[in-house]
Amino acid sequence: MRETYHHGDLRRRLLDLTAETVAGRGVSEVSLRSLARAAGVSHTAPRNHFGSRAGLLTAFATEGHLILAERLREGAATSFLETGVAYVEFASAHPAHFAVMFSQEDLVVDDPAFVAARQQTFGVLCAGVEGLQDAGKVSDAAAAAIAGWSLVHGLATLALTGNLDASSVRAYVAEPDLSALARRAASMLYGSGTTAAPAAAERKEV
Amino acid sequence: MRETYHHGDLRRRLLDLTAETVAGRGVSEVSLRSLARAAGVSHTAPRNHFGSRAGLLTAFATEGHLILAERLREGAATSFLETGVAYVEFASAHPAHFAVMFSQEDLVVDDPAFVAARQQTFGVLCAGVEGLQDAGKVSDAAAAAIAGWSLVHGLATLALTGNLDASSVRAYVAEPDLSALARRAASMLYGSGTTAAPAAAERKEV
DNA sequence: CCCCGATGTTGCCAGTGGAAACATCGGGGT
DNA sequence: ACCCCGATGTTTCCACTGGCAACATCGGGG
The secondary element (H helix, E strand) that includes residue B78 is: none
> Which of A151, A160, A183 to mutate to probe the B interface, most B CBs <10 Å?
A151
Query: Which of A162, A153, A57 is closest to B104 using CA atoms?
Result: A162
Q: What confidence category does residue B170 fall into, taking pLDDT thresholds of 50, 70 and 90?
A: low
pLDDT, tens digit (0-9, with 9 covering 90-100), for B1-31 = 444 556 779 999 999 999 999 999 999 999 9
Average pLDDT, chain A: 85
pLDDT band at A72 (very low <50, low <70, confident <90, very high): very high
Segments of chain B assigned to CATH 1.10.10: 1-50
Is A86 in contact with A75 (CB distance < 8 Å)?
yes
Taking only the tens place, the pLDDT of each residue in A74-114 is 999 999 899 999 999 999 999 999 999 998 888 999 999 99
> Is residue A181 scored above 50 in pLDDT?
yes
Give the nearest chain B residue to A150 (CA atoms). B154
CATH of B52-200, one of 1.10.357.10, 3.40.50.1000, 2.40.160.10, 1.10.1060.10: 1.10.357.10
Task: Collapse the DSSP code of A99 into the 3-class scheme (helix H, G, I; strand E, B; otherwise coil) and give the result.
Answer: helix
Q: What is the mean pLDDT of chain B?
A: 85
> What's the CATH number of domain B1-50, 1.10.12, 1.10.10, 3.90.320, 2.60.40?
1.10.10
Q: What angle do CA B143, B84, A185 make, to 5 degrees?
A: 20
| Ranges of CATH 1.10.10 domains, chain A | 1-51
pLDDT of residue B168: 57
Protein residues closer than 7 Å by CB to strand D: A 4-7, 10, 36, 41-45, 47-49; B 2, 5-6, 30-34, 43-44, 47, 52-54
What is the structure's pLDDT at B167?
59
Q: What are the phi and psi torsion angles at B46 (to 5°)?
A: -60, -25
Q: How far is B183 from chain A (nearest CA, A)?
A: 9
Write phi, then psi, for B134 (nearest 5 degrees): -60, -35
CB of A48 closer than 8 Å to CB of A62: no
Residue B6, amino acid:
H
Average pLDDT over residues B45-72: 98
- A144, A178, A195, B135, B196 from B193: Cα distances, Å: 18, 26, 20, 10, 8
Please count the CA atoms within 13 angstroms of the CA of B69 that sit on its side-chain side: 20
CATH topology of domain A1-51: Arc Repressor Mutant, subunit A (1.10.10)
